[in-house]
Amino acid sequence: MRLLQAAAVALALTVGTAQAATNIDFFFPVPVQGKLAVEMQKLIEQFDQTHPDIHVTAVYTGSYDDTNLKTRAAIEAGHSPAVVLMSANFIREYSINHNAISLDSLIRKSGQTPDQYMAEFWPALKVNAVQQGRVYGVPFQNSTPLLYYSVDAFKDAGLDPDHPPATWREWVADMKKLVKRKGSQTTRWGLMFPGTYDYLGWITSGLAMANGGDYYNTGYGGEVYYNTPTTIGAVKLIDAMVNQWHVMPPGVTDANAVTTAFFQGRTAMMILSTGSLSFVRENMKTPYKVAFLPRRFVNAAPIGGASLIIPSGNSPEKEGAAWTLINWLVSPEVAAHWSQFTGYFAPRIAAYDLPEMKSYMTAHPDAKVALDQLRYARGWFDSYDVVAVRKALEDGVQAVLAGKDTPEHAMAAAQQRADALLEPYVDQTALKLPQ
């Protein structure tokens, strides 16, 4: 905590100019298991102690989707929080709807250009943080999906735990060997991953990317690619794992059930966020390792996690205080601390130059795998009306998981639904030629 105190003092002297006794609200989610909410409260208490001219009320707001709903409600009621830790894939919609301010002027007041400021963060994070050439989000807790696997299960199946599957072909072959059955009962699945909203869309997008595709148009908020060969191919893989090879359980399984099954040896592999690394490390009682999300054509992984935004409707004083808080949270020292506590990778590149972070990475090779995969990361799916558009896809994949629909039909229906939801934005942004 001494490092956090040093970071706070330095940033209080150099970043932002909040007025005396400025009170601000900070909304934050906890989308993965663990004691993150308690730790975030401790960080905010540390900030308050070292910034007597600012008082932050930290409000835990549930999941990413819950945080989005509560933030919108607060804005509409005229009580905007000053800072929100918002899912990175909501930032485009907030900029479209003018519900968040561009941070460019605050960055310039701090003595940098927006490009200089964003250059301090990992390049893959820029896709979601920068909209239409302006900075709207500052990356804070970010992730990619990882393949977690049990060393004991691999050895039991005659597989080498030092050589995890790197391609879809290897992955499928390993899953089939890892499944264990006793009569008609499956006692160990080859793979599990969450099929709930948000998580399912994120993992499906990662598989579509690994299949050589683009899941959405990164430069335009009105176009998604559900009914394409690459996305359909990803859903076909999911369909075959569940309904053909029976290496993954049918239906929708949430993240808690997935991790419980992994801890109890009832699944040999699972796909979860890098943000779950610390939780798995603390609770897995047998050896495990992590690997990249397997590829079909290319290594690829969608960025996940959240960025810090300043919603519209705040006074200049509160915006200044918010900017001070944001820069304290993303300072290398605090970012490194949060990464070690949670498993999220630190978004600030300089965090990895700190001696304690170098020691941590050496001691925890699973965290290094997560960081290495970042080289292949892409932006997280975002669009106009992003939750509803995402759920159109997820509803289709959930129907496939339940054996109620085919990948081709499910994705055609998902595309049709998404196009209808996107139509208002498409019409709004359509080129109007003179008659």
Looking at the structure, tell me whether residues 219 and 241 fall in a common domain. Answer: yes
Q: Are residue 177 and residue 254 in the same domain, yes or no?
A: yes
Residue 179 lies in a domain: yes
Specify whether 417 is located in the same domain as 297: yes
Return the structure tokens found at 366.
Answer: 């699973």
DSSP designation for 276:
G
Q: 109 and 256: one domain? A: no
Q: What is the DSSP letter of 189?
A: B
Region for 250 from its dihedrals, namely left if φ exceeds 0, alpha if ψ lies in -120 to 50, beta otherwise: beta
Confirm if 388 and 69 have CB atoms less than 8 A apart: no
**Residue in the structure block whose two tokens are 């290495």:** 372
Residue 20 lies in a domain: yes
Q: Do 111 and 183 fall into the same domain?
A: no
61: DSSP letter: -
Q: Are residues 282 and 414 in the same domain?
A: yes
Domain limit, last residue, from 354, 375, 396: 375
Q: Which of 334, 352, 375 is the last residue of a domain?
A: 375
Phi, psi for residue 380 in degrees, rounded to 5: -85, 135
Residue among 259, 237, 219, 217 at smallest CA distance from 34: 259
Domain around 354: 2-142+304-375
In a domain, 435, yes or no: no
From CA 363, how far away is CA 366, in angstroms rounded? Answer: 9
Tens of pLDDT, residue by residue, the chain (435 residues): 545 554 544 444 444 444 467 999 999 997 655 588 889 999 999 999 999 999 999 999 998 999 999 999 999 999 999 999 999 999 999 999 999 999 999 999 999 999 999 999 999 999 999 999 999 999 999 999 999 999 999 999 999 999 999 999 999 999 999 999 999 999 999 999 999 999 999 999 999 999 999 999 988 999 999 999 999 999 999 999 999 999 999 999 999 999 999 999 999 999 999 999 999 999 999 999 999 999 999 999 999 999 999 999 999 999 999 999 999 999 999 999 999 999 899 999 999 999 999 999 999 999 999 999 999 999 999 999 999 999 999 999 999 999 999 999 999 999 999 999 999 999 999 877 676
Question: Of 404, 402, 41, 37, whose CA–CA distance to 200 is shortest?
Answer: 402
Q: Which amino acid is at 97?
A: N
**Do 161 and 284 have their domain in common?**
yes
pLDDT score at 35: 83
Residues 414 and 344 in one domain: no
Q: Domain count of the chain?
A: 2
- Tell me, what CATH number does 103's domain have? 3.40.190.10
Q: What is the pLDDT of residue 4?
A: 53
How crowded is the C-beta side of 164, counted as CA atoms within 13 Å? 21
Asked, for residue 433, whether it belongs to a domain, the answer is no
Residue 397 lies in a domain: yes
The Cα–Cα gap between 366 and 153 comes to 18
| Same structural domain, 165 and 280 | yes
Q: Of 193, 227, 205, which Cα lies nearest the Cα of 386?
A: 205
Residues 172 and 269 in one domain: yes
Q: Are residues 276 and 424 in the same domain?
A: yes
* Any domain includes 55: yes
d(CA 213, CA 231): 7
Residue where a domain stops, chosen among 355, 375, 395: 375
